[in-house]
């Protein structure tokens, strides 16, 4: 059976420029009332997508967008935020490529997020219930200067507070809103209160278990075997191999780097680990004299990716046993560049960490 490994390197999927470029805006001039309905003129507007736009003009557009982004923060006023949006609309008239459209959308995203935060901070319900004002109005409603109590009320010695307030009026007002059938509601509960006796639970028979079954297992440092085949560890080892390449010969043949003449499976693993370095920009694969070579590289910054037009591409690499044996024979490999890893053994009495 042929063993095959597929190496997938991630790529950046650009927006559908072709679909965008294929859309043309058509302005139809309506015919006048005197003309026949069939006589209409179509005026084709210039396509918005232009891959050959002047690079200097594109840099100037990105520079203006970045200045707007730096100017939008939590301290930006509403007027400044509206001015920034209008300025972005003005700059977008000159945008002809996808990278500038990304910056344009990021400005509107940042501005909308900032605006939504301010809306959530608005305070509503400023006309809340004022207890002090309610008590003042209630006292004024029950004062005898404003309304007289019932004339049938017997005269007699009353407290000063009772002489000032007319509770009958507020009582009649409350009674009109709370008319219901009176029910029995004793203040101290029912007349006869039976105390419930608390039931005592009978003790359950305790089941004695085997002490050896419940005993916790004590582990020592020697019982834990650290796995040497972790992906991150092997990727770092491969990065160290590329770092140790001499300055006079900074590149190395791809097959010479990954092929392990002693193990086909570790050859496949080395190729898999190399894909992580290429994905992160720590290594690069190029063609020299029709042969793939690998060298150590630095991860490009975001500005370099935009200004220099750097793009990630997807590469599918296939290797089988026949290719592995052929590489060993042609390159005359005796020892692997990446040291051979000892196969891990799983023992029942060991813990792996």
Q: If DSSP codes are grouped into helix, strand and coil, which group holds residue 216?
A: coil
Last residue of a domain, one of 90, 120, 150: 120
For the chain, the domain total comes to 2
Average pLDDT, the chain: 73
What percent of the chain has pLDDT above 70? 63
Q: Which of 77, 102, 120 is the C-terminal boundary of a domain? A: 120
pLDDT at 17 over 50: no
State the Cα–Cα distance between residues 135 and 7, nearest whole angstrom: 79
**How far apart are alpha carbons 264 and 275 in whole angstroms?**
17
CB 217 within 8 A of CB 324: no
Residue 37 pLDDT more than 50? no
pLDDT for res 22: 37
Between CA 112 and CA 189 the distance in angstroms is 60
Tell me, rounded to whole angstroms, the distance of Cα 343 from its chain centroid. Answer: 39
> What are the percentages of helix, strand and coil residues in the chain, rounded to 5?
40, 10, 50
Is 280 within a domain?
A: yes
The pTM assigned to this predicted structure is 0.36
Residue 266 lies in a domain: yes
Q: Is 81 contained in some domain?
A: yes
| Residues 188-210: tens digit of each pLDDT | 655 566 677 778 887 776 665 55
* Candidate ranges 6-20, 145-159, 163-177, 220-234; pick with highest mean pLDDT: 163-177
Q: The dihedral of CA 230, 233, 239, 244: what is its sign? A: negative
**In this structure, what CATH number is given to the domain that contains residue 262?**
1.10.10
How does residue 30 score in pLDDT terms, banded at 50, 70 and 90? very low
Nearest to 260 by CA among 273, 279, 246: 273
* 262: containing domain: 231-340
pLDDT band, very low/low/confident/very high, at 264 (cuts 50, 70, 90): very high
Cross-strand bridge partners of residue 316: 8
Q: Does residue 26 belong to any structural domain of this protein?
A: no
Q: Given 79, 95, 120, which residue is the final one in a domain?
A: 120
Instruction: Please check the confidence at residue 153 and state whether its pLDDT lies above 80.
Output: no
**Does the pLDDT value for residue 128 go beyond 80?**
no
Query: Quick check: is 30 in a domain?
Result: no
In a domain? residue 251: yes
Residues 304-343 as b/e (b if ≥16 CB within 10 A, e otherwise) read: ebbeeeeeeeeeebebeeebbeebbeeeebeebbbeebee
- What pLDDT does 173 receive? 83
The whole-number average pLDDT for the span 119-128 is 70
Considering the domain boundaries, does residue 166 fall inside one? no
Asked if residue 174 belongs to a domain, the reply is: no
């Amino acid at each position: 059976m042929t063993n095959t490994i597929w190496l997938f390197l991630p790529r950046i999927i650009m927006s559908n420029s072709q679909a965008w470029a294929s859309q043309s805006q058509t302005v139809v001039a309506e015919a006048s009332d005197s003309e026949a309905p069939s006589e209409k003129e179509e005026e084709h507007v210039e396509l918005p997508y232009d891959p050959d736009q002047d690079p200097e003009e594109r840099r100037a557009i990105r520079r203006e967008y970045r200045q707007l982004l730096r100017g939008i923060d939590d301290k930006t006023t509403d007027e400044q935020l509206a001015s920034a949006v209008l300025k972005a609309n003005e700059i977008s008239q000159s945008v002809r490529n996808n990278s500038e459209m990304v910056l344009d959308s990021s400005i509107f995203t940042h501005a909308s997020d900032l605006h939504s935060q301010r809306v959530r901070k608005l305070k509503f319900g400023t006309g809340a219930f004022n207890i002090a004002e309610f008590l003042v109005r209630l006292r004024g409603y029950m004062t005898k200067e404003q309304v007289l109590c019932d004339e049938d009320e017997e005269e007699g010695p009353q407290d000063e507070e009772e002489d000032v307030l007319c509770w009958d009026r507020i009582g009649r007002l409350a009674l009109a809103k709370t008319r219901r059938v009176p029910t029995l509601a004793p203040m101290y509960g029912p007349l006869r209160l039976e105390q419930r006796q608390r039931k005592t639970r009978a003790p359950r028979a305790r089941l004695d278990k085997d002490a050896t079954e419940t005993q916790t297992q004590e582990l020592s440092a020697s019982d834990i075997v650290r796995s040497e085949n972790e992906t991150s560890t092997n990727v770092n080892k491969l990065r160290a191999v590329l770092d140790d390449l001499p300055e006079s010969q900074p590149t190395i043949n791809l097959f010479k780097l990954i092929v392990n003449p002693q193990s086909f499976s570790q050859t496949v693993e080395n190729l898999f680990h190399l894909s992580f370095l290429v994905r992160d920009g720590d290594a690069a694969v190029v063609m020299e004299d029709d042969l793939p070579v690998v060298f150590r590289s630095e991860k490009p910054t975001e500005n370099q990716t935009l200004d220099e037009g750097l793009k990630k591409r997807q590469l599918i690499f296939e290797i089988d046993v026949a290719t592995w044996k052929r590489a060993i024979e042609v390159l005359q490999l005796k020892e692997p560049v990446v040291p051979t890893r000892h196969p891990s053994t799983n023992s029942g009495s060991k813990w792996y960490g």
